[in-house]
Amino acid sequence: MMKSYTATAHGPEAGRIDVEGYSIEFKAPKGGTIQALANTNLTIEAGSFVSLIGPSGCGKSTLLNAVGGFLQGTTGTIKLDGIEVDGINPEVGVVFQQYALFPWFSALGNVEFSLKRFNLGKQERRERAMAALKEVGLEGREHNFPGQLSGGMRQRVALARTFVSEPKVLLMDEPFGALDAQTRIVMHEILLQVWEAHRATVLFVTHDVDEALILSDRAHIMSSAPGRIIETIEITTERPRRAEAATEEFMNNRNHIIGLLRKPELETH
């Protein structure tokens, strides 16, 4: 039966992620296996904003995809609100660096399309989609097609399309990596405003230390492949945060994380 759609934000109990003894191995092209993710334990509290930081190829995206149900683990479990993840979950939204918008749909059409799986009338879908676009600052652009929008605007459409269905969890894989510095700052502000309104649990993959410190409640630092979490940084500075107006805590965290990322592989194991 089609689930009914609820417009209210999730309560504090919804969206907890527990990763327990999880590892992933892939078959190597010439035989044997490649370990993409070493034994990993991680708890992400419901409604929190958490970042994964690490060198390229360390398993950040692998872990994110496993949480989303796109990859199967070799050992261990991942649970969402106590229920084991064993496939793609409609209550988990995803935003990638590539916007993945339908070029033949307008901004409004792209957002509306994500609501078609719910038992909603056409008018209600339209109203919710319009409200979502307004929330990300695209009121008046709803009839533009993706090719008529800037990269930042396209990513706003992708954000609206994801949040409009009120996911428990939002997975973001370097979503702003292709944007210029000024547009990234704007997107950080929009993302935090929308997140604070909806309070989905966010797991955000980035290689940008400043980005993680600006956005997150907590940053998990991963070693080089096979990836594992080597340290967790609690970020207590009140939002909004800006790199150009960095506090002492911000700079101490920044320097510490950069130091961890610069360590030779053997020192992180």
- Domain enclosing residue 128, as ranges: 100-166
In this structure, the answer to whether residues 86 and 109 fall within a common structural domain is: no
pLDDT in tens, 104-155: 999 999 999 999 988 889 999 999 999 999 999 999 999 999 999 999 999 9
Domain boundary among 166, 189, 218: 166
What pLDDT sits at residue 12?
52
In this structure, the answer to whether residues 35 and 66 fall within a common structural domain is: yes
Domain boundary among 166, 185, 200: 166
In this structure, the answer to whether residues 104 and 81 fall within a common structural domain is: no
Rounded CA-CA distance 59/226 in Å is 7
% of the chain at pLDDT higher than 70: 93
In this structure, the answer to whether residues 184 and 145 fall within a common structural domain is: no
In this structure, the answer to whether residues 159 and 188 fall within a common structural domain is: no
Please count the structural domains in the chain.
2
Q: Higher pLDDT residue, 242 or 52?
A: 52
In this structure, the answer to whether residues 151 and 182 fall within a common structural domain is: no
In this structure, the answer to whether residues 144 and 206 fall within a common structural domain is: no
Omega within 30 of 0 (cis) for the link into 240: yes
In this structure, the answer to whether residues 49 and 178 fall within a common structural domain is: yes
Amino acid present at 227: G
Mean pLDDT rounded to a whole number for the chain: 89
What pLDDT sits at residue 109?
96
Residue 173 has pLDDT above 50, yes or no: yes
Residue 269 has pLDDT above 70, yes or no: no
pLDDT average, residue stretch 208-235: 92
pLDDT average, residue stretch 81-90: 92
What pLDDT sits at residue 244?
78
Kind plus residue range of the DSSP H or E element containing 154:
helix 151-163
Name which of 220, 200, 214 is nearest 47 in CA terms: 200
Dihedral sign for Cα 146, 151, 156, 162, please: positive
What pLDDT sits at residue 6?
38
Alpha-carbon dihedral 92, 208, 42, 239, rounded to 10 degrees: -80
In this structure, the answer to whether residues 135 and 26 fall within a common structural domain is: no
Residue 204 has pLDDT above 60, yes or no: yes
Pairing of the two strands 75-80 and 17-27? antiparallel
247 is written with which tokens?
Answer: 């506090």
Least confident of 53-57, 91-95, 202-206: 53-57
Residue 8 has pLDDT above 60, yes or no: no
Domain boundary among 166, 191, 218: 166
For residue 245, the domain's CATH number is 3.40.50.300
pLDDT average, residue stretch 89-97: 89
What pLDDT sits at residue 3?
33
What pLDDT sits at residue 131?
96
% of the chain at pLDDT higher than 90: 70
Are 214 and 243 spatial neighbours (Cβ–Cβ below 8 Å)? Answer: yes
In this structure, the answer to whether residues 155 and 59 fall within a common structural domain is: no
Dihedral sign for Cα 141, 146, 147, 152, please: positive
In this structure, the answer to whether residues 81 and 130 fall within a common structural domain is: no
In this structure, the answer to whether residues 86 and 140 fall within a common structural domain is: no
45 C-beta neighbours (distance < 10 Å), count: 13
**3-state SS assignment for residue 186:** helix
Q: Could you write out the three-class secondary structure of 112-144? A: HHCCCCCCCCHHHHHHHHHHHHHHCCCCCCCCC
Residue 19 has pLDDT above 90, yes or no: yes
